[in-house]
Amino acid sequence: MHENLAPSCNYEDFDDKVISGSRDGPILVDFWADWCAPCHAIAPHLERALRNLDGRVRLIKVEVDEGENMKLAGHYRLRGFPTLMLFHAGQELGRFSGARAAHWIQHWIEEHLAAAGD
């Protein structure tokens, strides 16, 4: 699920793909930048964590330096990259920044989904 393999979205279709899309199941949004080494470092850990969740959570990537995507970073008050946000039922369940290990990411997702009753 490296940058070019995961579905992506942009400022114009974020509401449709993420907010509305999360009503059909949880979506983890990876706000990343090509110049960001931790953004590249987390990619295989995201892949592993999501694989371990057996497709229960979808990943969508937002390249913050493309088009008007930095407006999304401003809207959500993102301070650094990568920042990952978990959405479900049209709402943000949580977020974290920085590279993390797969087991940490998986536990974080499971914890937030359990708190949301999913």
Among residues 1, 19, 36, 99, the one annotated as catalytic is: 36
Active site residue 39: yes
98: left (phi over 0), alpha (psi -120 to 50) or beta: left
Residue 31 β-bridge partners = 62, 83
Among residues 9, 29, 39, 50, the one annotated as catalytic is: 39
Phi and psi for 65 in degrees, rounded to 5?
-90, 0
Catalytic positions, written as ranges: 36, 39
